[in-house]
Structure formats: structure tokens, C-alpha cells
Amino acid sequence: MLLRGLYRQLYSHQQRHSPYHYLYEPAPVGELVALDFETTSLKASEAEIVSIGAVKIVGKQILHSQRLDLKLRPGVRLGATSIKVHRLRHQDLQQGLPPQQGIEQLLEYIGPRPLVGYNIAYDFRILKRYAKQLLQLQLVNQLVDVGQLYADRVHLPHEGMPANQDLAHICDALQIPLSARHQAYDDALNAAMIYLRLQFGPRPSAA
């Protein structure tokens, strides 16, 4: 936390004349962005982003009307296994944006806001890699992992028992309607709902 603050100041100074300076300003109070990527691989170091879903959370509202739902043109052929997971074939993505343009749009949308997601650290690692390679930028956004948030909040019957952080389980426990999964935007929206529920609702209990 402290380290992130220091880095933020450092980059803010480095980028003081660049158009990306906004990334290092203080985040607007009460605003976050729920984010999810569909990628070509599960390895953060080599995964390519095929689609981006992001939605702003302002206070207790999810701004679906201002959502970001993008498809990116991948550089390499898609692996057969990943096609099965997110159902985006190579030809579906030829209409997609060039990666650099997509990432620029996404960064502009996110700004300095904290990122919310399920397993968000994974998505953030990929985003950092893209930002560094394409735009020579270092990202310092705060992260809120809804799985972790749930584990922190949930009331467990026994001390020290690990919480079930499975997404389907969380949605079920919080009675959040789980929409068709494995589409970036749906997953982001889902994370946003879980976040609001955990942030403002009563403490859930593991049944």
C-alpha cells in the first residue's frame, strides 16, 4: 500500500508532461471499475487478450449504460482449448480492435480507479504487461479481489476454516443472479454486483 503510493508519486512525476498523467492522479471518491478479460491462455506471461469487459461502479450504482465491451484482434492463432472456454473463434475477432487502440481505450476508461474483479490480480498482470509493451506505462491501480473480499467477510462456522471462493458458490451464497458466464462483460458485471453486495450489504454466512 505504502509502496504503491510511492510508486504512484514517482510515475506521476515521470509522466507529468505526458497525456497519460491522469493515470496517476488520485481516484475519484467512491468510484471503481469492475474488469474482466477473456484471454488465449491461462499463463499471465503469454496470454493474449481477446475481449475486454469493464463497467464503472459509482457509489451504489453500476453504470451499465457507460460500459466498455471490446474485442481485440489477437496476434497469434487462438488455442483450441481457449476457444472452447470463451467461444470466440479466430474469425470472430478479425473485426476486433488492434490491441494498442483497445488498451488505450481501456486505460482512459479506468483512469486511476481501483479495479474490481474475480481473480483480478491475473487480469491486472496481463494489463500491466500490455501497458508496458505497447505504451511504456507502469500501472499502479489498487485491486479489489471479490473472492478475497468474500473470504474476508463471510461468517464461517469454524475458526480457521477456509472459505469456498468458487465464483458459483459466492453468487449462490449472496443470491446474485449469475449470468451467462465466460463473456468478459458479463463476468465484469457479475464482479461489480458481488462487490456492491459485500461492500454495502450484511455479512454473508457460509451455509
The residues of the shown chain that bind other proteins, judged by CB under 8 A, are: 60-65, 175-177, 179-180, 185-186, 189, 192-193, 196-197, 200-202
Nearer to other proteins, 40 or 190 (CB): 190
The three cell numbers of residue 6 are 510511492
Report, in Å, the least distance between residue 181 CB and other proteins: 10
Q: What is the dihedral of CA 151, 152, 157, 158, to 10 degrees?
A: 100
Taking 3-state DSSP, the helix, strand and coil percentages for the chain, each rounded to the nearest 5, stand at 45, 15, 40
Report, in Å, the least distance between residue 179 CB and other proteins: 5
In whole angstroms, give the CA distance from residue 85 to residue 39: 10
Report, in Å, the least distance between residue 80 CB and other proteins: 26
CA distance readout (Å), 77 to 46, 89, 92: 13, 9, 12
Report, in Å, the least distance between residue 201 CB and other proteins: 5
Q: What is the CA radius of gyration of the chain?
A: 17
Amino acid (1-letter code) at residue 80: A
In whole angstroms, give the CA distance from residue 195 to residue 146: 6
Report, in Å, the least distance between residue 100 CB and other proteins: 26
Report, in Å, the least distance between residue 55 CB and other proteins: 9
Q: What is the dihedral of CA 41, 47, 50, 51, to 10 degrees?
A: 100
Strand partners, 34: 55, 116
